[in-house]
Structure 1
């Protein structure tokens, strides 16, 4: 009898703990109007897909990309993006109980036009990529969530073959390996995926590797990188060629195994690929196309890591720059910059296909969406 009561009590407490967790959606925008909200937080109804606004912040210029700390307490943003002779990274404290997002501090980005920030799993390091000047900056994070001054900054000069878009390096994302022991930097300007070892115990965590970069095809323009949950494969979306390169992965080394179009083979121009993510179960890959298409390409992933296209889903707006999949894999949320609308899609867990659900959210020049269960 006592064992039955104890089991019931444990189950009850676990259910309370799980119900106390909520899923939040964080939106950023290219917003030069300091009087308007530029970062907004919504709560996601994980049954109906409805978004309910929780809080917002103003007095920011162009928070183009956001990331949330592993513990969900802090939000980090690329700020002053697309601003000549400027660029910064900013930190905020998120309190879901009080429904507040409070500015903490900011630091120079170490290069013009910051476009991507990542937090190490330890919560002690922030990495930022600067597009225009082609650089990466590494910052210690303080216990109160504030960003300390730059610990390391690397600038790159080399470009590639396209004389209009690749005259110099353009770092487009900063991606940690599955074990957080390597950092990968897709470089659109140089047609390279740069790589460093990352040791979180050191004051300067980035060190050179024996293989400092993986060369991509000329004029491909590598943009974002996503690792498979099994940690054996990685996928890089290439903006300029509208393609995805699939790689086998081990200990900081990428070995190319496949290249596929993100768009129908009949389309020969007007594509502009942007973001890429894999479903939590590792069965499906999603990639966004801007330009003429404005859709999400859907692929299956087989046991060898190879991709097969199974369809396309309109994002119901123009210029889907960033999208995100929630931790359960039930929902995919897309942000359309030019139409300023955020659309929630429900994922069919068996087929991988998408269906719009709930009501759209409007945010002028919405640039980024992140989802976090807290």
Structure 2
């Protein structure tokens, strides 16, 4: 009995330490929120995110930024870039970013070389920004100066095709411009022509993008390709379609794509209006989520087969608002945050890391027309 008590006394401090041990990864991040400024929103908002509890606290905002509907953060965390989705007069804005205070400072803006820019990405070396111009059906390249400012655009690529839906696909409508993990390629989607384009990328002063061979893959007619993500192992591409609300899974190898699965994320038997929106992985790559709008307004979760990359649905839950345009998963993989564009609301979900299921927790934000969420490191 005495030996047993001594053993318990020796183990007790270790047990207490194990209970108090903090979760792996940083405990705080910054969450940047892009919006449409046609309602009560005035620009871009920055909140501090507490990764252990899922709590959000206001830090800062910058107003006078017209329709910053999509954002990207430079790899050095010192600059933020936003499209200005203003019809024919599409522009792109650059900002200095103080991650400690969550403060944005305007640097400059340039033409997006097209109409209604809706997506922007930047290479890791911060040499070029890539912009998808939806209404003009083009992808544009804008160089980035050493001070983070944007230079005049140097290249624009456009497709003159159309799709089978006369109302939505009367012309090309480019929706994304995503760099491959090795940054040798830029992939961009065209909702209007049902194509996923592949271009070679090499940083240069003129025409950094050239068509790959083959230059595109065809998507199911009328599906309307929208956003895409790469798997963690870089072997697969996952494409979400807006009009069909499907996820297309491709094997990927050095710029070449081969489709292997197409899976719907509509509720069983659903016949109403739908519009797929955003698609994101958990940091560990085990689960993939997709949002759906209009009459569905939900988030669907998929488990990812580690060997084949194929998907199996594991969850479907309401977004508790109208038109979940975007969502983001915190870098520790504990929480998923949803932006409901047409109900001015942002909700927080806890992720079950074993099953992929989502559980809404207490707390929300009232933000006018939230349409883009980006996590970045807090300093």
Question: What TM-score does the superposition give when structure 2 sets the normalisation length?
Answer: 0.90
CA deviation digits over 1:93-137, x for unaligned, max 9?
111334421011000111110000001111221100000010111
Runs (4+) of structure 1 exceeding 4 A deviation are none
Once the two structures are TM-superposed, the CA of residue 273 in structure 1 deviates from its matched residue by: 0.7
Q: C-alpha distance in 2, partners of 1:92/1:340?
A: 24
Once the two structures are TM-superposed, the CA of residue 358 in structure 1 deviates from its matched residue by: 4.4
Q: Secondary structure at the match of 1:71?
A: coil
CA contact (8 A) 2:51 2:332 kept: no
1:71 aligns with 2:76: yes
Once the two structures are TM-superposed, the CA of residue 342 in structure 1 deviates from its matched residue by: 1.0
1:341 aligns with 2:336: no
In the other structure, the counterpart of 2:5 is none
1:306 aligns with 2:292: no
1:318 aligns with 2:299: no
1:309/1:97 CA distance change after superposition, 3 Å: closer
Q: C-alpha distance in 1, partners of 2:147/2:60?
A: 21
CA contact (8 A) 1:243 1:261 kept: yes
CA deviation digits over 1:259-300, x for unaligned, max 9?
010112311331211111111111111000111111111111
1:236/1:36 CA distance change after superposition, 3 Å: closer
In the other structure, the counterpart of 1:217 is 220
Q: Secondary structure at the match of 2:42?
A: coil
CA contact (8 A) 1:262 1:297 kept: yes
Once the two structures are TM-superposed, the CA of residue 368 in structure 1 deviates from its matched residue by: 1.0
Q: Secondary structure at the match of 1:78?
A: strand
Q: Please give the residue correspondences for 1:1-374 in structure 2 after superposition, counting only pairs within 5 Å.
A: 22-32=28-38, 37-79=42-84, 81=85, 83-200=86-203, 203-302=206-305, 303-374=307-378
Q: C-alpha distance in 1, partners of 2:212/2:338?
A: 35
Q: C-alpha distance in 2, partners of 1:92/1:22?
A: 22
CA contact (8 A) 2:344 2:370 kept: yes
CA deviation digits over 1:320-344, x for unaligned, max 9?
0111112221121110000011112
Q: Secondary structure at the match of 1:338?
A: helix
RMSD: 1.6
Once the two structures are TM-superposed, the CA of residue 204 in structure 1 deviates from its matched residue by: 3.0
In the other structure, the counterpart of 1:5 is none
Q: C-alpha distance in 2, partners of 1:286/1:99?
A: 27
1:212/1:70 CA distance change after superposition, 3 Å: same
Once the two structures are TM-superposed, the CA of residue 201 in structure 1 deviates from its matched residue by: 5.1
Q: C-alpha distance in 2, partners of 1:97/1:326?
A: 18
Larger radius of gyration: 2
CA deviation digits over 1:199-257, x for unaligned, max 9?
12554321121111110010010000111001011110011111111110001111000
Q: Secondary structure at the match of 2:34?
A: strand
Q: C-alpha distance in 1, partners of 2:204/2:136?
A: 28
Q: Secondary structure at the match of 2:302?
A: strand
Q: C-alpha distance in 2, partners of 1:144/1:22?
A: 27
In the other structure, the counterpart of 2:15 is none
Instruction: Structure 2 unaligned segments of length 5 or more: list them.
Output: 1-21
How many residue pairs get matched?
354
- With 344-353 and 48-57 compared, the bigger mean Cα shift is at 344-353
CA contact (8 A) 1:140 1:149 kept: yes
Q: C-alpha distance in 2, partners of 1:36/1:267?
A: 33
Q: C-alpha distance in 1, partners of 2:57/2:337?
A: 14
Instruction: Structure 1 unaligned segments of length 5 or more: list them.
Output: 1-14
Q: Secondary structure at the match of 1:266?
A: coil
- With 112-121 and 150-159 compared, the bigger mean Cα shift is at 150-159
Q: C-alpha distance in 2, partners of 1:220/1:97?
A: 42
Q: Secondary structure at the match of 1:290?
A: strand
Q: C-alpha distance in 2, partners of 1:169/1:32?
A: 26
Q: Secondary structure at the match of 2:343?
A: coil
Q: C-alpha distance in 1, partners of 2:286/2:142?
A: 35
Q: C-alpha distance in 2, partners of 1:180/1:351?
A: 32
Question: What TM-score does the superposition give when structure 1 sets the normalisation length?
Answer: 0.91
